[in-house]
Amino acid sequence: MEKESKQELEKSQEVLQDENSIYPVVDADLCSGCGICAEICPVDAIVMKNGVASIITDACRTCFACQRVCPMGAIR
């Protein structure tokens, strides 16, 4: 498999996984990088990477507190 085709397949699998996720999912295009979600997370399951929130699914307890406080509506 060509490198480019493999990368496209991996990206499409990531998108599919996000759409079916039981965990909060961050829309990087909407995330302003304010960090409010990381501050409110009761189990510290959110880190900021390159100015965008990232959910650590192994730590997340799916309380969705992050979704409720996100001023940009970037977490679904």
Backbone angles phi, psi at 13, to 5 degrees: -70, -35
What is residue 21's predicted lDDT score, i.e. its pLDDT?
A: 81
- pLDDT for 9 beyond 50: no
Contact partners, residue 75, CB within 8 Å, separation at least 6: 24, 25, 26, 27, 37, 53, 64, 66, 67
- pLDDT for 8 beyond 70: no
Q: How far apart are CA 56 and CA 47, in angstroms?
A: 8
pTM of the predicted model over 0.85: no
Q: Are 47 and 38 in contact (CB under 8 A)?
A: yes
15-53 residue pLDDT tens = 445 567 899 999 999 999 999 999 999 999 999 999 999
Q: Which fold has domain 24-76?
A: Alpha-Beta Plaits (3.30.70)
Strands of 1-76, DSSP E: 46-49, 52-55
Query: Mean of the pLDDT values across residues 54-62?
Result: 96
